[in-house]
Amino acid sequence: MSTAQLQYQSQSVAKPYFIAAIGLFVGQVLFGLIMGLQYVWGDFLFPEIPFNVARMVHTNLLIVWLLFGFMGAAYYLVPEEAERELHSPKLALALFWIFLTAGVLTIIGYLAVPYATLAKITGNDILPTMGREFLEQPTITKIGIVIVALGFLYNIGLTVLSGRKTVINVVLLTGLVGLAVMFLFSFYNPENLVLDKYFWWWVVHLWVEGVWELILGAILAFVLIKTTGVDREVIDKWLYVIIAAALITGIIGTGHHYYWIGTPSYWQWLGGIFSALEPIPFFMMTIFAFNMVFKRRKQHPNKATVLWAMGTGVMAFLGAGVWGFMHTLAPVNYYTHGTQITAAHGHMAFYGAYAMIVLTIISYAMPKLRGIGTAMNDRAQIVEMWSFWLMTVAMVFITLFLTAAGVLQVWLQRYQPNPMPFMAAQDQVAIFYWFRELSGVVFTLGLLLYILSFFIKGKQPAAQPTAA
Amino acid sequence: MPEIFTKTMARNIYLGGSVFFVLAFLALTFDTTARLPERDNRENITEQVALGKQVWEENNCIGCHTLYGEGAYFAPELGNVYQRFGNSKEALKGFIKSRPVDGIPGRRSMPQFNLSEEELEAIAEFLKWSSEVNTENWPPNING
Contacts of B66 in chain A (CB under 8 A): 338
Q: Tens of pLDDT along A261-289?
A: 999 999 999 999 999 999 999 999 999 99
Asked whether residue B8 falls in the same domain as residue B78, the answer is no
Domain count, chain A: 1
Query: In sequence order, what are the residues at sequence separation of 6 or more whose Cβ sits closer than 8 angstroms to the Cβ of residue B83?
Result: B131, B142
Position A413 in a domain: yes
- Residue of chain B nearest A274, judged by CA positions: B21
pLDDT of residue B1: 54
pLDDT of residue A353: 98
Q: Tens of pLDDT along B69-86?
A: 999 999 999 999 999 999
pLDDT of residue A463: 54
- Residue of chain B nearest A346, judged by CA positions: B72
Interface of A with B in 67-86 (CB under 8 A): none
How high is the ipTM of this complex?
Answer: 0.97
Residue B2 has pLDDT above 60, yes or no: no
* Mean pLDDT on A326-353: 98
Among B33, B38, B60, most A C-beta atoms within 10 A, so best to mutate, is B60
* Mean pLDDT on A148-169: 98
Contact (CB, 8 A) for A34 and A403: no
Whether the CB of A314 is below 8 Å from some CB of chain B: the reply is: no
pLDDT of residue A334: 98
- SS3 string, chain B, reads CCCCCCHHHHHHHHHHHHHHHHHHHHHHHHHHHHHHHHCCCHHHCCHHHHHHHHHHHHCCHHHCCEECCEECCCCCECCCHHHHCCCCHHHHHHHHHCCCCCCECCECCCCCCCCCHHHHHHHHHHHHHHCCCCCCCCCCCCCC
pLDDT of residue A467: 41
Residue A416 has pLDDT above 80, yes or no: yes
Closest CA to A59 of A171, A134, A131: A134
Contact (CB, 8 A) for A422 and B77: yes
Residues A318 and A325: their CA atoms lie apart, in Å, by: 10
Q: Three-class SS of residue A230?
A: coil
Position A2 in a domain: no
Residue A418 has pLDDT above 70, yes or no: yes
Position A463 in a domain: no
Contacts of B78 in chain A (CB under 8 A): none
Q: Which amino acid is at B126?
A: F
pLDDT of residue A1: 45
Place A460 in a pLDDT band, splitting at 50, 70 and 90.
confident
Whether the CB of A116 is below 8 Å from some CB of chain B: the reply is: yes
pLDDT of residue A464: 52
The boundaries of the domain holding residue A60 are 9-453
Q: Tens of pLDDT along A300-334?
A: 999 999 999 999 999 999 999 999 999 999 999 99
Asked whether residue B83 falls in the same domain as residue B106, the answer is yes
Contact (CB, 8 A) for A226 and B2: no
Residue A466 has pLDDT above 60, yes or no: no
What CATH number has the domain bearing residue B75? 1.10.760.10
Position A464 in a domain: no
Asked whether residue B67 falls in the same domain as residue B52, the answer is yes
Position A461 in a domain: no
Mean pLDDT of chain A: 96
Domain count, chain B: 2
CA-only gyration radius of chain B, Å: 22
The boundaries of the domain holding residue B84 are 41-144
Residues A94 and A109: their CA atoms lie apart, in Å, by: 22
Q: Three-class SS of residue A66?
A: helix
Asked whether residue B33 falls in the same domain as residue B16, the answer is yes
Asked whether residue B85 falls in the same domain as residue B127, the answer is yes
Interface of B with A in 66-125 (CB under 8 A): 66-77, 101-109, 111-113
Position A364 in a domain: yes
Q: In Å, how far is A313's CA from the nearest CA of chain B?
A: 18
Whether the CB of A427 is below 8 Å from some CB of chain B: the reply is: no
Q: Tens of pLDDT along B111-143?
A: 999 999 999 999 999 999 999 999 999 999 999
Contacts of B67 in chain A (CB under 8 A): 193
pLDDT of residue B4: 87
Residue A369 has pLDDT above 90, yes or no: yes
Asked whether residue B55 falls in the same domain as residue B21, the answer is no
Place A175 in a pLDDT band, splitting at 50, 70 and 90.
very high
* Mean pLDDT on A452-464: 81
Residue B98 has pLDDT above 60, yes or no: yes
What CATH number has the domain bearing residue A318? 1.20.210.10
Position A32 in a domain: yes
Residues B84 and B81: their CA atoms lie apart, in Å, by: 5
Position A458 in a domain: no
* Mean pLDDT on A395-416: 98
* Mean pLDDT on A417-424: 97
Asked whether residue B74 falls in the same domain as residue B119, the answer is yes
**B23 exposed, middle or buried (CB, 10 Å; 0-12, 13-18, 19+)?**
exposed
CA dist A75 → A177, A210, A227, A371, B118 (Å)? 15, 22, 19, 17, 51
Contact (CB, 8 A) for A52 and A115: yes
Asked whether residue B26 falls in the same domain as residue B48, the answer is no
Q: In Å, how far is A142's CA from the nearest CA of chain B?
A: 16
CA-only gyration radius of chain A, Å: 22
Asked whether residue B101 falls in the same domain as residue B31, the answer is no
Asked whether residue B16 falls in the same domain as residue B47, the answer is no
